Structure 1
Amino acid sequence: MPKVINLNQARKQKARADKATRAADNRIAFGRTKAEKEATKAEEVRHQKQLDAHRLGKDKSE
């Protein structure tokens, strides 16, 4: 005889599992600390300044 399951509980368990998966994906995508974001931004600024310093034409119109 097959095991009887409560469909409401099964639906809620599936919803919790889906929510946990979505939360894990968001932690990977958006889970950087403020210090990490600032360090990345500082690195980009430093890199841009280095590129600007090596330009041949120093015109403001470029």
Structure 2
Amino acid sequence: MQALAALDSDIPVCVARELTKTFETYHRGSASRLAAEFAECPPRGEIVLLVGGVNAPRAVR
């Protein structure tokens, strides 16, 4: 996540964790915000990383 934030700190990202399981979670935000979040508490388990494309809107919902 830190490498992605270094390339484009505002790119929208979603980290989906433990899909199809009881405790699945979704973390959405800019690459820089999620890099800071995961620096404090790294995600555990299986993750799927979704990265916004060139024409993706910058506002993350």
Higher relative contact order (CA 8 A, sep 6+): 2
TM-score bracket, normalised by the shorter chain, equals under 0.3
Give the helix-richer structure, 1 or 2: 1
Give the strand-richer structure, 1 or 2: 2
Could you tell me the TM-score, scaled by structure 2's length? 0.23
